[in-house]
Amino acid sequence: MIDKEAVYDEKISPIVQQIIDICKVENIPFVMDFGLRDGDGENVYCLTAVYGQPGMMETPTFQRAIKVLTGDPEFFSVMVD
């Protein structure tokens, strides 16, 4: 069994909050997904996304990415140049 929930709460969550605050001020969209627990029949994930706010760039792939990350069976692929 993998259980990283305490690590996330203690070390990662404060950094994520800083990223959220900066991205909201600077209008930077993002998606983050953390796998925290697996192996005991109860998988735990933390998905954080900020997009679609006034003044932010268009991010049409974010909605598809969130669907995939939350278990929607839609196929998703991204190519970055």
Sequence ranges of the domains in the chain: 2-69
DSSP helix/strand/coil, 36: strand
So what's the pLDDT on residue 73? 58
For 1-81, list the strands marked E by DSSP.
2-3, 30-38, 44-50
pLDDT at 75: 52
Backbone φ and ψ for 57, nearest 5 degrees, come out as -65, 155
Q: Which residues in the chain land under pLDDT 70?
A: 73-81
What pLDDT does residue 25 have?
93
For the whole model, what pTM was predicted?
Answer: 0.74
